[in-house]
Amino acid sequence: MTDPIALGSTIGILGGGQLGRMLSVAAARLGFKTHIFEPGANPPAGDVAHAVTTAPYEDAAALAAFAAACDVVTFEFENVPTAALDLIEAQVPIRPGREALRISQDRLTEKEFLESLGLTVAPFADVPDIAAMEAAVARIGAPAILKTRRFGYDGKGQARLRTAQDAAAAFAQMGDAPAILEGFVDFSHEVSVIAARSTTGEVACFDPGENIHRDGILHTTTVPARLTAAQRTDAVLMAAKILNALDYVGVLGVELFVTPKGLIVNEIAPRVHNSGHWTQNGCMVDQFEQHIRAVAGWPLGDGTRYADVVMENLIGDDMDRVPALAKQPDTALHLYGKAETKPGRKMGHVNRITR
Ligand code: AMP
């Protein structure tokens, strides 16, 4: 049990993308300041934060000065180098803690962790090098998906195997990086649970959302998701189990496949999650405020869903639709202020209240 940080305190955020931006807005609304640490110039979060440090994660002096300026540090991106975290943690608490990052940075460690909790994951095999590929394909079969152990996101670092013959090409496509081979899950649809845990161990989950991906990138999240009452309970219990096992503080996203045999965990993200953006217009307290509350040592807020919502990501040229979307009723626009529109780049999202 930890005392809440004082009002007016500074919350450091590693990463300055749209998640850091929306966390900063939520923090400001609760009377906190945010300080962004981001290697890239002009980060979207910089527009709404109290301070920004522009430096690489290898810059020890910049990290030390950043930590000295913060009362607690969190992150919006899980691939922060371990050495940077060591440096920060020597000066100021990091929430959620290191264990959640260690596990989610590596798909193999993550799968083993989830299995150790008794949760169902897709069948998987370790593929450290091309020599291990044959045995992995023999065990997992085809179709299958090869995923790099580290640094994969939005469908990147993945190659599909239609048949066993695709194995060598798939490994080469991923730059010969250590990987896992995952059996193809025949799911009916995908859902996610956005869950939160406070410093006192209190757990709260938002209503699960149903997710549709296009080209490996989230396209829409719809709430309520198509789930039976039993599946809904299962999803929430699974998320709580993960949070408690990690002694987690903050918001975590759990992506699940829905199959006739039950729910299968695809992956976890130790941060606010794109599939939780609907909460901004569907709940009294959204995922960003919930995360800030947890990290600040506050009690969790009321995340009860009071509307049906469809969240749609605005990607690349979808920005051309903004003038038309701005005229639509029951529609809330959230734009990230990114200077340059690029194909595949998340530029904003829109939440439509459907009931
Ligand atoms: P990931 O980066 O692991 O979240 O994967 C991105 C998307 O690829 C998922 O949301 C699924 O649509 C699909 N996918 C990933 N793993 C599997 C699997 N084992 N079986 C079927 N589809 C998958």
Domain with 140, as residue range(s), is: 123-183
Q: Is residue 115 situated within a structural domain?
A: no
Residue 99 is assigned to a structural domain of this protein: no
Per-residue DSSP letter, 14:
E
CA distance linking residue 300 with residue 235, whole number of Å = 19
On whether both 221 and 337 belong to a single domain, the answer is yes
Calculate how far, in angstroms, residue 145's C-alpha sits from the geometric centre of ligand 1: 8
Is 193 a member of any domain?
yes
How many Cα atoms are found within 13 Å in the side-chain-facing hemisphere of 322? 15
Give the pairing type, strands 10-14 and 33-38: parallel
Task: Find the CATH number of the domain harbouring 63.
Answer: 3.40.50.20
The residue among 342, 323, 343 whose CA lies nearest residue 333 is 323
Does one domain contain both 302 and 204? yes
Q: Which residues does ligand 1 sit against, CB inside 6 Å?
A: 122, 145, 152, 155, 182, 184-185, 190, 213, 216, 255, 266-267
Say if residue 138 is in the same domain as residue 68. no
Ligand 1: which of 145, 187, 214, 273 to mutate, judged by most atoms within 8 Å of the beta carbon?
A: 145
Single out the residue in 183, 203, 235 at which a domain terminates.
Answer: 183
Q: Which atom of ligand 1 is nearest to the CA of 156?
A: 2
Give the count of domains, the chain. Answer: 3
- 166 and 212, same domain (yes or no): no
Name, in order, each residue with C-beta under 8 angstroms of 164's C-beta and a sequence gap of 6 or more: 137, 138, 141, 142
Q: Report the pLDDT value the prediction gives residue 238, as an integer from 0 to 100.
A: 98
Instruction: Give the pLDDT confidence score for residue 55 in this predicted structure.
Output: 98
- Return the CATH number at 134: 3.30.1490.20
The CATH number that applies at residue 223 is 3.30.470.20
Last residue of a domain, one of 75, 94, 113: 94
Mutate-to-test residue for ligand 1 from 153, 156, 188, 266, highest number of ligand atoms within 8 A of CB? 266
- C-alpha to C-alpha distances, 304 to 153, 207, 324, nearest whole angstrom: 29, 8, 30
Quick check: is 260 in a domain? Answer: yes
Residue by residue, pLDDT tens for the chain (355 residues) are 578 999 999 999 999 999 999 999 999 999 999 999 999 999 999 999 999 999 999 999 999 999 999 999 999 998 899 899 999 999 999 999 999 999 999 999 999 999 999 999 999 999 999 888 989 999 999 999 999 999 776 667 889 999 888 888 888 888 888 999 999 999 999 999 999 999 999 999 999 999 999 988 999 999 999 999 999 999 999 999 999 999 999 999 999 999 999 999 999 999 999 999 999 999 999 999 999 999 999 999 999 999 999 999 999 999 999 999 999 999 999 999 998 999 999 999 999 999 8
Q: Atom 9 (ligand 1): residue with closest C-alpha?
A: 216
| One-letter identity of residue 162 | R
The span from the CA of 241 to the CA of 239, in Å, is 5
Ligand 1 centroid, distance to 266 Cα (angstroms): 7
Dihedral sign for Cα 39, 42, 43, 45, please: positive
| Amino acid identity for residue 346 in this structure | K
Residue partners of 237: CB distance under 8 A and separation at least 6: none
> How much is the pLDDT for 168?
86
77 with 30, same domain: the answer is yes
Query: Do 196 and 59 share a domain, yes or no?
Result: no
Same domain, 147 and 88: no
Query: What is the structure's pLDDT at 155?
Result: 65
Helical residues (DSSP H) of the chain, grouped into ranges: 18-29, 60-69, 82-89, 98-104, 107-116, 133-140, 167-173, 229-245, 279-282, 287-295, 322-325
CA 86 to chain CA centroid, Å, is 22
Q: Distance (Å, rounded) from C-alpha 20 to C-alpha 34? A: 9
Residues 260 and 205 in one domain: yes
DSSP 96: S
Instruction: Judge if 164 and 36 occupy the same domain.
Output: no
Nearest-CA neighbor of 156 among 349, 347, 345? 345
Q: How far is the CA of 192 from the centre of ligand 1 (A)?
A: 13
The residues with which 158 forms a beta bridge, in sequence order, are 147
Residue 172 Cα to ligand 1 middle (Å): 20
Nearest ligand 1 atom, CA 122 = 19
Domain check: are 201 and 304 in the same one? Answer: yes
Using the mean position of ligand 1's atoms as its centre, give its distance from the Cα of residue 269 in Å. Answer: 14
Please state, in angstroms and rounded to a whole number, the distance separating the CA atoms of residues 94 and 91: 9
Q: Are residues 140 and 203 in the same domain?
A: no
